[in-house]
Each structure stands twice: as C-alpha cells, then as structure tokens.
A and B are shown apart, each in its own frame.
Chain A
Amino acid sequence: MLPLDITHGTIVSALGRGAAATLASLRDRRTGLAPCDFAGVTAGYVGQVAGLDEHALPLPLAAFDCRNHRLADLALRADGFAEAVAEARERLGPARIAVVVGTSTSGILACEQAFQHRDPATGALPASFDYVHTHDIFALARFVRTALGLRGPAMTVSVACASSARAFMDAAHLIASGACDAAVVGGADSLCGMTLRGFAALELISPGPSRPCDAARDGISIGEASGFMLLERASRGHAGITLLGAGATSDGYHISAPRPDGAGAIGAMRGALAAAALPADAIDYVNLHGTGTRANDAAEDHAVTEVFGPGVPCSSTKGWSGHTMGSCGVLEAMIATLCLTHGFIPGCLGVTELDSSFRSGVTTANEDRPLRHVMSNAFGFGGVNCSLVFGHRA
C-alpha cells in the first residue's frame, strides 16, 4: 500500500475534547465512563461527551442539527482541524480532497425522537423532522463536506463497529487510483436508544464500567466519539505519523458473533502487516478492538497471539472511552498516533485480574517507551475485520 501521511487529526470522546485532553486522560488513567442516564436507559455505564445538548451548529449548517452532527462539529473545531483542512484546500484545491467517513447509526436519535411525536391520527412524523440531513446514512458525509467547504467525492462507510477504521482503507483506494489527492477520514457515532437498547437486548451491556481483558469482564459500555484525520500522499517534509498499512477480511461466519478461532482477525492483521511491508516484530504495541465481552476479547487474544506471539504489548482503551461503535476506529487511530508521538502504552483500565487463559501480551499499567509502529484493530457486526498500521516512515 502507498503510505499516507496524517497531516492533521482531531478527536472528541468521553476522554475529552481534543488530542491534549485525550492524552491527559490516558496518562492519568482517568476513565470517561459514568452511570448511564440517556434516552430512558439507566442500566450500565456510558462514555458520554459533555456539552452536546448546549452546542449549536453554525447557522448555515442548521438543517443538519442532531446529536451526531453536533459531536462531529465539536471534532471539526477541536485541534485546529478545520483550519488545517482550509490550508490543504488552498494548496490542493477543494475538488481534490475526498470525504470518507464512517458511522453505524448516523443521526438515528433524531428519528427516535420524531417517532415519539407521531401524529395520533395519521401516524406521520413531525413536519420539522429532516430525515435527509440527520438519520440518512449519507448525512454525515454531507455535513463534513459542507462544513469544510470541500468539493471532492464524498461517501459514508457503514460497516458497523469497523466503519471509521475501514474508511481509512476506502480513502487509500481513492487516493491510489487518483480520484483524489487527499481525504478527510474518520467518523462519528453518538448515544441513541437503538444502540443502548439493542446491546441490552443482546445481553452484552456490563452493569459496571467495561473492563476489557479482565477475568470477570461482563460486557461493554457504550460510548460516543467523533474524530477526523487529513490523509495525504506521503511527502518528503512530513515529520509526523503515517498510515503504513491497512488489512481487512470478512468472517463469513455469523452476523453478530466473532469466529472463535479468530481467523478473520488474524487475516486482517497479517493483511495490514503485508500492506505495510513490515514483519510482526516491527509492531511495538497493538491497540485491541477489546470490547469487553467474553467472546470478543477471547477470540482477539487468540488471534493476536497467533500473529505476534506473547511478547508484543497490547491493550484495549475502551475502559476509558466505552465502545464508541463506528467511531472507535478513528478514536483508536488517534490514540495510536498519541502513543507513537509521546512514546507510551496505555495499559488496560479497570482490570482487577487479567484473564488467565489469555496468552497475548496484555498490559494493565501505563508504560513509557519509544514505539516504532502501532497496530489498531476494529471488528464489527457482519463479520467485518479491519487492522491499521501506523508509524514513522522509514
């Protein structure tokens, strides 16, 4: 794969607004999870972003108003991201920058609210409900493209919890074929009744804060996040982090359960290594998908051990953020760049006792050490597996 430079990035999650706040939460081992009180759900914990109810979109974007786009708007405004894209827009031209963003549920919360205000006689939704700019799956790509003043190709990628990870690979294809020179990649997923009550129906919500890799782990905590990166063809002057490889597979096994043998995850990780032309021992840290369910973490441990053996440090950061659905790919990609830039590994949060059946190198304490390359995993319903490799270009 052609390496792609990350020339700018931004992130908002329960860890905080922007990269500095995110880094501080990781360093201080301060979780963003708190008891859930959202959309009538009071079970479990959530990684909620503060201030969304108060945040107003700029007037020209008012038609897009919904929780998901407020969250995306906060991300575009954090870390000087919109300004960096404006600079790239001048340099490359607005037509040469694509928007490739991932979401699982888009602005469905707006639709849920509309369903609570149906006309009692006709069943019609309120006339004020704007499906196209909120719930429709393309709404996020439209919003980001409009907000950033871009005129390149735009698409929403929706492959469940792997959405914003897979967006990196889709953007890489567009850049490789010459359809664009750069891409704004990333995504947004926000709290909604669908996700909270859907995972409750699957009996996958932990009553307490999620603790991936713990012997007594008992499910996920739902979170919300939005983040974006500007990806450009690798150039000489770039001193920052580069996307070196991406790999993806399908399980072809079950819609919502992972393959117990981890074959799909193994294929995605090996595919990403091959695309980066790196051996397994060049990876110094693996940021796991690590959702905190019994089956997911066990299958991923098996897969990571197959690829890396027991020696490579790995951890899940979902004990901080919760599982942010389709946005976990870009959230954890941003965490990977922070780990590389600042030379540290965030050990799993909230682990009392590590699952003794695990054989991979799961860490449970933060560690300072220089890192050459970091792999980030994201897996999703439908049996989608995606792995990304980040590092400094050789």
Chain B
Amino acid sequence: MSRAYIAGIGLQGPGLAGWTDSLGVLRGERPRDALATAIPMPALLAPNERRRAGLVTRLALAVAEEALHHAALPLDSVRSVFGSANGDGQVVLKLLETLAEPDRPLSPTQFHNSVHNAVAGYWSIAAGSAQPVTCLGGYDATFGIALLKAVSEAIAERMPVLLCLYDAPLPPPLPDLPARDVIFAAAFILLPERPDACLGALDVTYAAEAATFADAAPRDPSLAALAMNNPAAMSLRLLESLAMEQTDRFALPMLDGRVTVEVSPCR
C-alpha cells in the first residue's frame, strides 16, 4: 500500500470552475450549473507560446497552476505526472488531414505540438521548471494509472508530485473515445509526508481483480455523467470525498485489474 497526502487541488469542468468555487457542487449543497468548461488563458505563458498553445494546454496549465497555488508551493518545485488519454486531438487531426495528401508540407509547429508531452513541455516552460515530467496514456483507465504512478513517484523520490489530468474529445472523423462531449481537467499536489495544510490522505493499491465504472462512480448523478464521459473526470469521486472531508474507498477499473483508493480526512 502506498500513502500520499494531498496538499492542493485544481479543477476545470462543465459548471466546475476551480476547486473553491466547486466545493458547493462537490458537497451536494447546490446543483452543477449547465455551463461549458471554462478555458482560461494562462498568464504564465509568454505571448508567442500563448498563441501556439491549444485548448488542452491552456486547460492543463490552469489546473496545474491552481493546484500549486493552493498548496502554496513554488511552480518549479514539483515533479510532474501528466495523464491524458487523447492528448491534443485537434493538432493530430490537422496533421492527419495533411498527411492524407501526398505532397502537402506539414506545419512544423503543429508537428512539434503533436507529441503527447507537448502540454507538459509548455508547463515546464511556463513554470520555469527543470523538474522531470512523465506523460502517461491509459485510455479510460488513465486516472487510476496516473494516480498509482504519481503516488509511487512521490514515495520513491521523497518529493512533491503534481498529478495533472486533462482530456477533451477527439474531433471527427476520429472516434469519440474515450472522452465524449465533456472537456475536463484536474490537478492534485501529492506529498510523501503529511503537510500542515492537508486536504486528505490517500492509500493506493493495485490488484488483479476486475472492477466496473460503478465501483468508482461519483455519488452525484450529474457528476457521474461527466466521469462516464471523460477519463480525467474519473477523478470526481475523489474530489467529492475530499470536498466532503469523508472517509471513502473506491476501485478504479484498469483493464482486468483495479486501482483501489482509500481516502481519509486529515482532521
């Protein structure tokens, strides 16, 4: 069993604009507004990088910055684990359309923005950080896989780790898998030692026992609908439990196995 402590959270989803503003919804005190996901323009990026940064980059940078401010940690002080099933589908689509024509040149900017770690690259530029990043893909299991990896890294390296999750649906004709309709990003600052300002403790284990969506679905049906339609929004069950400061245990499906998460309040 691997234990880590949460010191900061960032969040952007439909009707969920930041951790503090979302607490009422996550605690079930008020309904979620039927608003589209806000896509902030990160002030961190230089103007020329801002121009190049696509939707998912802006989204991921916003939640990463929010989580680090929440944890009161310098932006360049954490290692990072980025998790995304789809990466930047808009960029990949433009390149695929160009590649379908034999002699059309590719855009060099789109090409270097097409790598799965482009978002993480823009993050390290924006944060002025030399800390290492890794970028994972795990299809609909991306949250559980990236959480297991981030907690492991915090423990193994004895360092704070930023876990940043983001996904947006692929544009047609690419399949609307595994993200459908919903644009979502969340970030967590994970520490190997309990911080003074602690939002919850996590015990994370992997087991080769199958689980289903229902084993990790958020309690609120409106939030469950988001989780069902975006791998990053699978973090909503954890976000609910942290907002309610409740003990919780749930199992995230990972192929024919599961990542079990036990949440305990720091009180």
A267 near B130: Cβ-Cβ < 8 Å: yes
Q: Which chain A residues border B146 with CB–CB below 8 Å?
A: 155
A112 at the interface (CB under 8 A from B): yes
**Contact in complex: B149, A174 (CB < 8 Å):** yes
Is B87 among interface residues, defined by CB-CB distance under 8 A? yes
Tell me how far the C-beta of A280 lies from the nearest C-beta in chain B, rounded to whole angstroms: 20
Give complex CA distance A151, B125 in Å: 37
Contacting B at CB under 8 A, from A220-271, are 248-256, 263-264, 267
- Taken residue by residue from 149 to 182, chain B's Cβ proximity to chain A (1 for < 8 Å, 0 otherwise) reads as 1011101110000000000000011110100000
Asked whether A382 and B99 contact (CB < 8 A) given A151-B256, A250-B132, the answer is no
Q: Tell me whether B58 is interfacial, beta carbon within 8 Å.
A: no
The interface residues of chain A lying within 8 Å CB-to-CB of B117 are 158-160, 380-382, 384
A179-229 at interface with B (beta carbon < 8 Å): 179-180, 193-194, 197-202
Given A136-B137, A151-B208, answer yes or no on A255-B121 (Cβ-Cβ < 8 Å). yes
Contact B85 A137 (CB under 8 A): yes
How far, in whole Å, are A382 and B123 apart by their CA atoms in the complex?
A: 9
Bound CA–CA A122/B155 (angstroms): 50
Decide: B115 and A160 in contact? CB cutoff 8 A.
yes
Residues of A within 8 A of B95 (CB): 194, 198
- Is B105 interfacial (CB-CB < 8 Å)? yes
Residue-wise interface mask of A (144-170) relative to B, using a CB-CB cutoff of 8 A (1 in contact, 0 not): 010000011111111110000010011
A158 x B127 contact (CB < 8 A)? no
Q: Could you tell me which residues of chain A, from 1 to 49, have a CB within 8 Å of some CB in chain B?
A: 40
Task: Decide if A264 touches B111 in the complex (CB within 8 Å).
Answer: no
| Chain B interfacial residues counted at CB < 8 A | 68
Chain B residues, CB < 8 A from A94: 208
Contact B255 A154 (CB under 8 A): yes
The reply to whether A124 and B173 contact each other, CB–CB distance below 8 Å, is: yes
CA distance A128 to B97 in the complex (A): 19
B128 CB, nearest partner CB in chain A, Å: 6
State the majority secondary structure of interface residues on B.
mixed
In angstroms, how far is the closest chain A Cβ from the Cβ of B231?
A: 10
In chain B, positions 126-150 with a C-beta closer than 8 Å to chain A are 127-139, 141-142, 145-146, 148-149
Q: With A111-B96, A202-B112 as given contacts, are A179 and B206 in contact (CB-CB < 8 Å)?
A: yes
A177 touches B2 (CB 8 A): yes
CB distance from A90 to the nearest CB of B (A): 15
- Give residues 85-135 of A contacting B (CB, 8 Å): 94-95, 104, 111-112, 115-116, 118, 123-125, 131-132
Contact between A174 and B152 (Cβ–Cβ < 8 Å)?
yes
B76 CB contacts on chain A under 8 angstroms: 252
* A157 & B2 in contact (Cβ 8 Å cutoff): no
Q: Does B247 contact A (CB under 8 A)?
A: no
CB-contacts of A34-72 with B (<8 A):
40
User: A155, A166, A176, A201: which contacts B156 (Cβ < 8 A)?
Assistant: A176
Find chain B residues with CB under 8 A from A131 CB. 174-175, 177
Do A176 and B152 have beta carbons less than 8 Å apart? yes
Inter-chain contacts of B155 with A (CB < 8 A): 173, 176-177
Q: Does residue A375 face the partner (Cβ distance < 8 Å to B)?
A: no
* Interface flags, B247-267, vs A, CB<8A=1, else 0: 000000011110100000000
- Most chain A beta carbons < 10 A, residue from B108, B113, B115: B115
The yes or no answer to A285 lying at the interface (CB within 8 A) is no
Complex contacts, A292 vs chain B, CB 8 Å: none
Partner of A151, one of B115, B120, B177, B257: B257
User: A194 contacts which of B99, B132, B145, B175 (Cβ < 8 Å)?
Assistant: B99
Cβ of B118 under 8 Å from chain A: yes
Is there an interface contact between B137 and A138, defined as CB atoms closer than 8 Å?
Answer: yes
Residue A172 interfacial (CB < 8 Å):
yes
Residue numbers in A under 8 Å from B108 (CB-CB): 198, 201-202, 256
Contact present for B125 and A252 (CB under 8 Å):
yes
Q: Which residue of B lies closest to A136 (CB)?
A: B139
Q: Given contacts A40-B102, A158-B136, A179-B2, are A173 and B152 in contact (CB under 8 A)? A: yes
CA gap between A169 and B137 in the complex, in Å = 16
Rounded to whole Å, the gap between the CB of A125 and the closest CB of chain B is 5
Residue numbers in B under 8 Å from A179 (CB-CB): 2, 148, 152, 205-206
Seed contacts A115-B99, A155-B136, A384-B121; 11 additional CB < 8 Å A-B pairs: A118-B100, A137-B137, A138-B141, A138-B142, A174-B149, A249-B131, A250-B132, A255-B112, A380-B115, A382-B124, A384-B133
Give me the interface of A with B, judged by CB distance under 8 Å.
Answer: 40, 94-95, 104, 111-112, 115-116, 118, 123-125, 131-132, 136-138, 141-142, 145, 151-160, 166, 169-170, 172-174, 176-180, 193-194, 197-202, 248-256, 263-264, 267, 380-384, 386
Could you give 29 example pairs across A and B, Cβ below 8 Å?
A40-B102, A104-B116, A125-B174, A125-B175, A132-B177, A136-B85, A138-B141, A142-B139, A152-B206, A154-B145, A156-B136, A158-B87, A158-B136, A159-B115, A169-B132, A170-B134, A177-B2, A179-B148, A180-B206, A194-B96, A197-B105, A201-B108, A250-B124, A250-B130, A264-B130, A267-B130, A380-B117, A381-B115, A381-B117
Q: B residues touching A (Cβ–Cβ < 8 Å)?
A: 1-2, 52, 76, 85, 87, 95-97, 99-100, 102, 105-108, 111-118, 120-122, 124-125, 127-139, 141-142, 145-146, 148-149, 151-153, 155-157, 172-175, 177, 205-208, 254-257, 259
Top-9 shortest CB links A-B: A382-B121, A137-B137, A95-B208, A158-B116, A248-B132, A177-B152, A198-B111, A250-B124, A176-B156
